Amino acid sequence: MALCDVSPATLRYVGDYYGVTKRFMDHHDLLKEPMDAAVVLSADSHGQVIVDALKAGKHVFTEKPMCFTLREADEILAAHKKAGTSAWSPT
């Protein structure tokens, strides 16, 4: 298990609370870790992080909204189709 957040304080608090020692401030670094799936819970649009995770061969679970624009949705679908992994967002 690993965590990623742009806020050092949030990363430290959540990591300490749950006992997660692998911590990253850049999702690209996190995606280099061996893992089956990524959970995307960012405060902004999730689009680029989802695309990057799919391109890294990870399955993705994300909260709503998955993205903000049709362009982002098209990029997610294209990355999903090319990677053969799954991307899921609750309805």
- Taking only the tens of pLDDT, the chain with its 91 residues reads 999 999 999 999 999 999 999 999 999 999 999 998 999 998 888 999 999 999 999 999 998 888 899 999 999 999 988 988 766 666 5
pLDDT, position 35: 92
Give span(s): CATH 3.40.50.720, the chain. Answer: 35-91
The letter for the amino acid at 32 is K
CATH 3.40.50.2300, applies to 35-91: no
Q: pTM, whole model, 2 decimals?
A: 0.85
Strands 22-24 and 2-4: parallel
Q: Is the peptide bond before 90 cis (omega within 30 degrees of 0)?
A: no
pLDDT, position 58: 93
pLDDT, position 85: 75
pLDDT, position 18: 97
Instruction: Report how far residue 4's alpha carbon sits from residue 11's, in angstroms, rounded to the nearest whole number.
Output: 7
